Structure 1
Amino acid sequence: MQKTYKPGVGRKPLKPDYDAATILQEQMQAAVVLYEEDNSLQSIADALSLNPIKVRKLLITAGVYESETADVVNSAFEAKRGIPYKEALEAVATQLNLSKASVTSYLPYKKGVYFREDCDRDQISVGAERLRRMRQRQKAVEALLSSHDEQHLWKCVTAFQGYRFKTISGLPFSYKIKTGRNGEPTKELWIDRREGSNCLTWSSVLLALGNIKGEVVDRTKALGDIRGVTYIYGMFYRFGLIDVPDEVKEKMGHTKKRKK
């Protein structure tokens, strides 16, 4: 005899107060606070009793974690939109020679709603806005590597405002472009290093650009005896203008090959 069930009657949840979305949001907020205090992924994981990979994924979802690998994976995945998730995952894994688990670990927990490129920032999610910045930065880098001139370097510098760079010793820093009294941007970079801020002039950046000799630059002074050269070194490495020794790459958090 077939049993009949009353509408609304079913198996009671084992944990009626459990809210996965709320817990995920709380974990993400806690991870962001610790990350902005310059804690490592491992130390954040230890503090929150989480896996470091999950911590990284939380930070990517929050839009605060930036690395070359994360940028490449998300750019490749973004290019596959319109096809089923599983197929896109397999295609990106094959393209980048990564496991599907590795690709997934660099994707945010929830993909944002996609909008056209020229829509206002307040119309898109944090994740979608980060993807937009990522695409703009990638385009700026590609243009700079195809033509090492002042104009393309400035566009690259502009695109990377707020990006989390690292010095040769692994210390994080970011910068923003100063504005004049008329509200227009000047060609001065305000370096933010928490314990203090420094001003980096555009003439110093151009001087270092002209001092690049060879592919691998093993020390900051090789770019010249320039004020703020330690920051320029980190910027040039991320832009792909220089390569650095392997032991330095470990401190700076990513490996990057210079394009000829």
Structure 2
Amino acid sequence: MHGVTPSTVRQKVLRGGFTTAQKIGRNWLIDKNEPYNDKRESEMHGTSMDDVLNAYNKTGSIKETSRICKISEQKVRKVLITKNAYSTPLSDKISSLSDRGLTPLEISKKLNISRAAVNSYMPYAKGVYNSANPTENAQRIRKSRDRLKR
């Protein structure tokens, strides 16, 4: 429910958090009313992709844009690549290989770089929402959300 891993729950319990947490087998059960203070910063701090693009157009610098928008330089670069406002020889090569149908893992092996590096140079991909033919995972998520609403 909180989007955290079992190891995060375990660590939080050890530090006095999640007071209602109980471990049953491999799973942790936490009362749904237990407050969860997520100390992580939100991904874009309420900054839109257009805000990032506008800041970059004014500064011409990924580093300065990162400072202004309070997001990482990697996230700024990924937003700019998504908006077709930034490219490098590496991003062009990754894009070309992706357009040929290679997966990020295949690209990483071909270019001898990590899969995380490949993903950081690929544009954001937005999935199709409310599709008439949802994926199996989307169906499970919908079913789970429906149960929570009851």
Kindly state the Cα deviation for residue 38 of structure 1 after the two structures are TM-superposed.
3.9
- 1:132-151 equivalences in 2 (<5 Å): none
TM superposition outliers: structure 1 runs of 4+ over 4 Å: 12-15
Does 2:111 correspond to 1:96? yes
Equivalenced residue count is 93
Kindly state the Cα deviation for residue 68 of structure 1 after the two structures are TM-superposed.
1.7
Partners of 1:99 and 1:41 in 2: CA distance: 22
Partners of 1:68 and 1:112 in 2: CA distance: 27
Does 2:51 correspond to 1:30? yes
Partners of 2:80 and 2:97 in 1: CA distance: 19
Aligned counterpart, 1:165: none
Q: Deviations over 1:5-63 (max 9, x none)?
A: xxxxx946959xxxx89x58833111100111243111111111111111100111222
Does 2:67 correspond to 1:52? no
Matching residue within 87, 95, 99 for 1:78: 99
- 1:62/1:11 CA distance change after superposition, 3 Å: farther
Identity %: 28
Aligned counterpart, 2:89: 68
Partners of 1:106 and 1:39 in 2: CA distance: 18
Q: Deviations over 1:163-215 (max 9, x none)?
A: xxxxxxxxxxxxxxxxxxxxxxxxxxxxxxxxxxxxxxxxxxxxxxxxxxxxx
Q: TM-score, normalised by structure 2?
A: 0.52
Helix, strand or coil at the partner of 2:95: helix
Aligned counterpart, 1:254: none
State the AA in 2 paired with 1:66: S
State the AA in 1 paired with 2:68: A
Aligned 8 A contact 1:73 1:106 in 2: yes
Q: TM-score, normalised by structure 1?
A: 0.31
Kindly state the Cα deviation for residue 111 of structure 1 after the two structures are TM-superposed.
5.5
Does 2:125 correspond to 1:110? yes
Partners of 1:69 and 1:112 in 2: CA distance: 25
Aligned 8 A contact 2:55 2:65 in 1: yes
Kindly state the Cα deviation for residue 110 of structure 1 after the two structures are TM-superposed.
1.0
* Structure showing greater Rg: 1
Partners of 1:43 and 1:29 in 2: CA distance: 16
Partners of 1:61 and 1:25 in 2: CA distance: 18
Partners of 1:63 and 1:92 in 2: CA distance: 20
- 1:76/1:112 CA distance change after superposition, 3 Å: farther
State the AA in 2 paired with 1:42: K
Q: Deviations over 1:52-78 (max 9, x none)?
A: 111100111222212221111111112
RMSD: 2.8
